[in-house]
Amino acid sequence: MTKAELIDFVSTESGISKSDATKAIKATFDAITETLKEGDSFTLVGFGTFSVSEQAAREGRNPQTGETIKIPARKVPKFKAGKQLKEVIAAT
């Protein structure tokens, strides 16, 4: 599903305009992004939890040349599905 398809779905299911659905979805994504930027986790009970994970610096290898390269430490977003979401997916 694309963002445009999500907007159409929210608009249809909630009976609001596409413009309002776009604003609501953008606000939701902005809230998740800001929370993660602050280093906190964002939990939607029953759906799952968005959090930030830190990856340590490590050495990698360029697959074309075989040359060893250094990969710097970084923060990456992580999602852990909630119990209800897992149950719905498992039942299909």
Per residue in 59-75, pLDDT tens? Answer: 999 999 999 999 999 99
Task: Check residue 37 and give its pLDDT.
Answer: 96
Q: Would the pTM of this model clear 0.85, i.e. be above it?
A: no
Task: Check residue 92 and give its pLDDT.
Answer: 83
- Whole-angstrom distance, CA of residue 86 vs CA of residue 80: 10
Taking CA atoms, 8 is separated from 4, 13, 29, 33, 35, in Å, by: 6, 9, 16, 22, 26
Q: Which of 21, 16, 24, 43 is nearest to 32 (CA)?
A: 43
